[in-house]
Amino acid sequence: MKFIEQKLAGLYLISPEPYEDKRGIFRRHFCQREFSEHHLMVDIKQCNISENTKEFTLRGFHFQSPPFGENKLISCIRGNIHNIVLDVRPESNTYLKWQSFELSEKNRLSLYIPLGCANAFLTKQENTWVLYYHSEFFTPKAECGIKYNDPMFNFDWPADPTVISDKDANLPHFNQLYGDLNGANSNS
């Protein structure tokens, strides 16, 4: 696997090195040794699959508050997503910056998201499945979120969501959670 560090501190795009022969393709998706060599999550506590039946389904922005913060490894194993990661770590040199990525079954890329970053994605086709590995267990009392279209950040979504949960549609804006801050509209 190739680990490609991104502009947001601790964020990695992971590209597999598939082996192909007449049977098809074999690729490694997680290796404790390789992740450890890059000082990334090696202890997986939970694994989830999000099955999204409709195009333009939105999920997020989600994260868990300290001390229950979690690292995530996200892969689109069927279909295609537009994924955005937002750094909400006050101590980070990329605080309040965001980056977007296209993850799909065709490009086989994964995204390693460090704890303290919020994540959201929009499906770009029907029947899109997203696989998540988490370094911590889901803790309902630590669940946090930020509205997907918060004007403070000017997120660049490829389309407006047509399917969104009531919970995600009603998430607060960042300023409602943390108060007024300046300089938060850049996507490094």
Give every CB contact of residue 182 below 8 A, 6+ residues apart in sequence. Answer: none
By three-state DSSP, how is residue 141 classified? helix
Residue 135: which CATH number? 2.60.120.10
Residue 183 located in a structural domain: no
Q: Which two tokens stand for residue 80?
A: 């295609």
Residue 90 located in a structural domain: yes
pLDDT in tens, 80-120: 999 999 999 999 999 999 999 999 999 999 999 999 999 99
Q: Give the E-state strand segments of the chain in sequence order.
A: 2-5, 12-15, 19-21, 24-26, 46-52, 57-64, 72-78, 80-87, 98-104, 110-113, 117-123, 128-134, 143-145, 163-164
Residue 86 located in a structural domain: yes
Q: Which two tokens stand for residue 185?
A: 């509209």
Best CA proximity match to 77, nearest among 114, 33, 44, 121: 121
Q: What is the span of the domain harbouring residue 92?
A: 2-15+43-178
Report the alpha-carbon distance of residue 57 to residue 76 in Å, rounded.
14
Residue 102 near residue 73, CB atoms below 8 Å: no
Mean of pLDDT values over 64-75: 95
Number of domains into which the chain is organized: 1
By three-state DSSP, how is residue 177 classified? helix
Residue 20 located in a structural domain: no
Which positions are annotated as active-site residues? 62, 132
What is the CA 30 to chain-centroid distance, rounded? 16
Residue 28 located in a structural domain: no
Mean of pLDDT values over 4-14: 97
pLDDT in tens, 15-44: 999 999 999 999 989 999 999 999 999 899
Residue 10 located in a structural domain: yes
pLDDT in tens, 130-182: 999 999 999 999 999 999 999 999 999 999 999 999 999 999 999 988 775 54
The phi and psi torsions of 82 (rounded to 5 degrees) equal -105, 115
